[in-house]
Amino acid sequence: MSFHFNFFSYKAPCNLFPPPSIKTDNISWLYDTLADSWIKLGLPADTRDSIQSGAFYTTLIRPGLRVISLNMNYCSRENFWLLINTTDPLGQLQWVSFSKYENKKLLTIFI
């Protein structure tokens, strides 16, 4: 017996990332899966909340060095959901500016 999983029937179309305010095309399941996977691969558990809210996070790699990872899918011209909200639909830019300010004495790498 073989198992066939049709991944495309469970996600939004390519390049379309609806913001959390859109309840009909919610992709929170994707962010939950990413959080589980990335934490299993080694990210600290305290990154879970920001990953689940939009697949972005920050973590201290070693003393004095921090990584901030942004989800740039919400900046893509092909994402027509941006027509509804073009001003930081995830609150990610506000979050990153707070993270940067909070950690101004650290070397920060953006990915």
Q: Which amino acid is at 84?
A: I
Q: What is the pLDDT of residue 106?
A: 74
CB neighbour list of residue 68: distance below 8 Å, 6 or more residues apart:
56, 57, 58, 96, 99, 100, 108, 109, 110, 111
Instruction: Give the pLDDT of residue 77.
Output: 76
Q: In the prediction, which pLDDT does 2 show?
A: 44
What does the pLDDT profile of the chain (111 residues) look like in tens digits?
444 444 444 455 666 777 777 777 778 888 999 999 999 999 999 999 999 988 999 998 888 888 889 888 877 777 777 777 677 778 888 888 776 556 567 777 787
pTM to 2 decimal places: 0.73
Q: CA-based Rg of the chain, rounded to a whole angstrom?
A: 16
pLDDT for res 11: 52
pLDDT at 44: 96
Task: Please tell me the predicted confidence (pLDDT) of residue 4.
Answer: 43
**What is the Cα–Cα distance from 111 to 98, expressed in whole angstroms?**
17
Q: Where are the domains of the chain?
A: 14-110
